[in-house]
Amino acid sequence: MKNYSHINDLKNLQETVQEAISLKNNELQFESLGKGKTICLLFFNNSLRTRLSTQKAAQNLGMNTIVMNFDSEGWQLEFEDGVVMNQNKSEHVKEAAKVVSQYCDIVAIRAFAGLVDKEKDETELVLSSFIKYATVPVVNLESSIGHPLQALADAITLEEYKVSHKPKVVLSWAPHSKALPHAVVNSFIDMMLLQEADFVITHPVGYELNPKIVKNSKVEYNQEKAFENADFIYVKNWSSYNDYGKIVSQDENWMITSHKMEHTNNAKFMHCLPVRRNVVVSDKVIDSENSLVIEQANNRTYSAQIVLKKILETLK
Ligand code: CP
């Protein structure tokens, strides 16, 4: 694998999930693979899980890690071609990506959507520019439209808690006070389309997602109906896609409560974190024994570790 920018960069999701679970059972079994190799983690946005779990994954493989908060510590980058750079941008990505590539063997990048210009966000400007100009493999730590390491961690968690029948998995919108991007839900849907499952998306009218990502997934506007007999409830807020980046409603009736979970088949509760308690989900649900949020965060290490392992194997 050259780059990991999308879940479809994996040749086989199910095999990769099994490999990740095997790594989790013996996380230092490939501790020599990355000896002498370095990963640069470049953050254009905040992080807790991605930053720490990817470092831990790299260290489990024997790699050195360099982390930079690019947005606050680096020069402001220009991404457009042919620009007269006489304003506030000090360095072009053409040089920056090549320079960073000299200091590491893999570069990993987090750069969220701006949520102002849909077309611009969909070009994945930061990630795609690094893929274009870097001379080493590039890993997506959450871009404007995808978070494939989170989706792989979620696939690992779904496998670990699998039920004996074909599972019903529900992706539910929940309210939030800030306009949030679509990256996590896009990648969750991409991943679910590779699974054998009864998959349902539920959200209020106005929160329809990109039809090119949703494809023929079932959409149910009645949340309680969607929850009936569900085995997994995956919750995430997102802003409007059609009225791009806007909050079109904050209906608090969509918060996940124990009453709603009673409609399910004793479903597990999932969320990628960070989560706003008693806005997105009640304390009672997230603190219940059916909540998998801490396990999901733990699996971020093994999703990153299996991806880095596959890339390192191509560098040998
Ligand atoms: N889920 C996730 O990516 O968490 P962070 O934003 O804290 O990295």
Domains and CATH numbers, the chain: 7-147+299-314 (3.40.50.1370), 150-296 (3.40.50.1370)
The answer to whether the CB of 152 is under 6 A from ligand 1 is: no
DSSP sequence for 163-188: -SSPPEEEEEE---SS---SHHHHHH
- To test the ligand 1 pocket, which listed residue (42, 49, 238, 296) has its Cβ within 8 A of the most ligand atoms? 49
From first to last of the 316 residues of the chain, give the pLDDT tens digit: 899 999 999 999 999 999 999 999 999 999 999 999 999 999 999 999 999 999 999 999 999 999 999 989 999 999 999 999 999 999 999 999 999 999 999 999 999 999 999 999 999 999 999 999 999 999 999 999 999 999 999 999 999 999 999 999 999 999 999 999 999 999 999 999 999 999 999 999 999 999 999 999 999 999 999 999 999 999 999 999 999 999 998 899 999 999 999 999 999 999 999 999 999 999 999 999 999 999 999 999 999 999 999 999 999 7
**How much distance in Å is there from the Cα of 222 to the middle of ligand 1?**
29
pLDDT at 71: 87
For residue 298 the two structure tokens come to 């733990």
pLDDT at 43: 98
182-204 b/e (C-beta count within 10 Å ≥ 16 → b): bbbbbbbbbbbbebebebbbbbb
Atom 6 (ligand 1) nearest CA: 47
* pTM for the structure as a whole: 0.98
- To test the ligand 1 pocket, which listed residue (54, 142, 188) has its Cβ within 8 A of the most ligand atoms? 142
**How much distance in Å is there from the Cα of 184 to the middle of ligand 1?**
10
In this structure, how many other beta carbons lie within 10 angstroms of the beta carbon of residue 35? 11
The answer to whether the CB of 47 is under 6 A from ligand 1 is: yes
Atom 1 (ligand 1) nearest CA: 272
Rg value, the chain, Cα? 20
The answer to whether the CB of 45 is under 6 A from ligand 1 is: no
**CB distance 285 to 258 below 8 Å:** yes
Closest atom of ligand 1 relative to the 149 alpha carbon: 3
The answer to whether the CB of 99 is under 6 A from ligand 1 is: no
pLDDT at 251: 92
Atom 3 (ligand 1) nearest CA: 50
